[in-house]
Amino acid sequence: MQSSRALRALPVVFWLVPSLSLAAQARYRVTTDGAWFYQEPGGKRLARLARGAIVVGGESQDTWQGVTVEGWIFVTSVGPTPRAGYDLAVSRAPEENLRSAPAGALIGKLPQGFLLNKVAEGTSGNWVHVLRAGWVEKSAVEAVAQVASTRAAVADSDTGGLTPGRRPRGPETPGQRSGVNAPDTSASPSAPVDPSRVESARRTVLYRAPEGAPAGTLAPSAPLRVLGRSGDWTRVELEGWVKSADLEIAPPGVLMGITAAELRTDPQRYAGQVLRWTLQYIAEQQADELRPEIPNGSRYFLARGPLPEHGFVYVIVPEAKRAQLESLSPLATIQVTARVRTGRTRFLGNPVLDLISLETLP
C-alpha cells in the first residue's frame, strides 16, 4: 500500500523488504552517493547507487563486496532480453530509476541495456519487482545490523507491540514482539557513528518548509535523520508507523512529497517522472523564445509552489485541458498531477511540468 499521500509533509523511508531467499543474508547500506555497481570485482561499471540504498550481501573478495540489488522499476522502462540468465533489460534511454518500492526511495540509476531478473509474481500496477547481483567496493557500504528472518517476523506479527523508539528494519512488522532485534550492546566501541542520526531535544514543531505552515509536533527524543541544512533550518526525515485506515492509496507511478528544491538540485533524476503537487494558480501565459524549455506558442500557467514553498512553477497545458484552466480564478489553490519536463529552467531555475490532470481545492 502506498502511503506517501498521507505523509507528504514527512519524507518516509520505504525500506526494501527482501524475498525469502535473501532475508537471512547480511545487509549493507550505501554510504557514498553515486557509488558504482560493478559486474565483477574491478570489472565493468554497470550502474550508480544512491546513498542510503539497502543492498543484500554475498561473498567478499579483498576490498570488494558481493551484493544483490533489489527494487522496483517502471514496466514500460524494461523489456525482454535474449541474454541467457536474465529476464529483462532497461529499455529507457539514457537511464531509469530503481526504487525500493513503487514510487518509493531511490536505490540507483540503471542505464539503458542494464540486465535484470524479475522476482516471481513481482508486479504492482505500472511497476515490476526486479533484482541483479554484482559487486561494490567495501569502502562504499556499511553493514546494517542483522534482522530476524521474514518467516520469524511473520510468526511474531500477532504477539506484543513494537518496542518504543525502535526503528523498523527490513521485514519487521508493526506487531513484532517487544525485545526482538534489541540494540546490540556488545558492539565495538570503535564502531562509526552516523552524524545524520539525531533526535528531538524537546517537544518540537515540524514545519513543511522554512517559515512555512506547521505540519505537526514531534515528541521529545523522536528519532530523526538529517537530510540537509539551510541557515537556521535543518531538513529532517522521520520514520514511524501509522494506522493503515488513516492512509490514502497513491496512484501507481505517481511520486508524492517531492519538493521543487529537490527538482532544482537534481533535475535529471526527476525528468520524465510523474508527481502530484498542490499549487497556487497565478495566471495563464503563452510561451515565447524567453522560455526555451516550453514549445514556442504553447499555453502554460504560472503557479506558486508546491505549497508551502514560495517559488514558481511553469505548467504546460494541453489543448484538452484549456477549458478547465479558463475557469480558474487567480490565487486559486489547485492540485495537479503532471510529468516533469525539466526540474530547472536555464534562466530562472523554475521547474516545468506537463499537465496530466487538475483539481480545484477548497
Last residue of a domain, one of 104, 125, 143: 143
221 lies in the same domain as 326? no
- Residue 337, classified by CB atoms within 10 Å of its CB into exposed (0-12), middle (13-18) or buried (19+), is middle
CB 106 within 8 A of CB 131: no
Cα–Cα distance measured from residue 119 to residue 129, given in angstroms and rounded to the nearest whole number: 6
- Which residue, of 143, 164, 187, is where some domain finishes? 143
221 and 276 assigned to the same domain: no
Question: Is residue 168 one of the residues assigned to a domain?
Answer: no
Considering its fold, how many domains does the chain have in total? 3
In a domain, 40, yes or no: yes
In a domain, 229, yes or no: yes
56 with 117, same domain? yes
Lowest-confidence pick of 72-86, 221-235, 279-293: 221-235
> How many residues make up the chain in this entry?
362
Q: Is residue 4 part of a domain?
A: no
φ/ψ of 325, rounded to 5, equals -65, -40
Burial class (CB in 10 A: 0-12, 13-18, 19+), 138: middle
Segment 145-179, tens digit of pLDDT: 643 333 333 334 343 333 344 444 444 344 443 33
Q: Record the pTM.
A: 0.40
Same domain, 138 and 49: yes
pLDDT at 25: 64
Q: Would 131 be classed as within a structural domain?
A: yes
The answer to whether residue 55 scores a pLDDT higher than 50 is yes
Residue 350 included in any domain: yes
Q: Which residue has the higher pLDDT, 360 or 122?
A: 360
Same domain, 289 and 230: no
Residues 200 and 276 in one domain: no
- 321 occurs within a structural domain: yes
| 231 and 265 part of one domain | no
The C-alpha cell of 1 is what? 500500500
Neighbours of 346 (CB within 10 A): 9
Angle at 97 between CA 95 and CA 99, to 5 degrees: 160
Can you give the CATH number for the domain in which 341 is found?
2.40.50.140
Report residue 256's pLDDT band, with 50, 70 and 90 as the boundaries.
confident
With 0-12 CB in 10 A as exposed, 13-18 as middle and 19+ as buried, what is 100? buried
Which tops the pLDDT comparison, 252 or 35? Answer: 35
**Does residue 226 sit in the same domain as residue 273?**
no
Return phi, psi of residue 262, to 5°: -65, -40
Backbone angles phi, psi at 119, to 5 degrees: -75, 140
Other beta carbons less than 10 A from residue 123's beta carbon: 13
- Same domain, yes or no: 94 and 208: no
What pLDDT shows up at residue 115?
95
Q: 346: which 3 cell numbers?
A: 536555464
Q: Of the candidates 105, 124, 143, which is a domain's last residue?
A: 143
- Same structural domain for residues 122 and 202? no
Percent of the chain residues past pLDDT 70, beyond the cut? 76
Domain that holds residue 124: 20-143
- Rounded to the nearest 10°, the torsion over CA 130, 131, 132, 137 is 130
pLDDT average, residue stretch 346-359? 91
- pLDDT per residue as tens digits for the range 318-336: 999 888 888 889 899 999 9
What's the whole-number average pLDDT of the chain?
Answer: 78
Same domain, 227 and 328: no
pLDDT at residue 278, rounded to an integer: 93
Q: Is residue 48 part of a domain?
A: yes
Determine the residue type at 356. Answer: I
Are the CB atoms for 114 and 107 separated by under 8 Å?
no
Examine the domain organization and report whether 28 and 121 are in the same domain. yes
Q: What pLDDT was estimated at residue 183?
A: 42
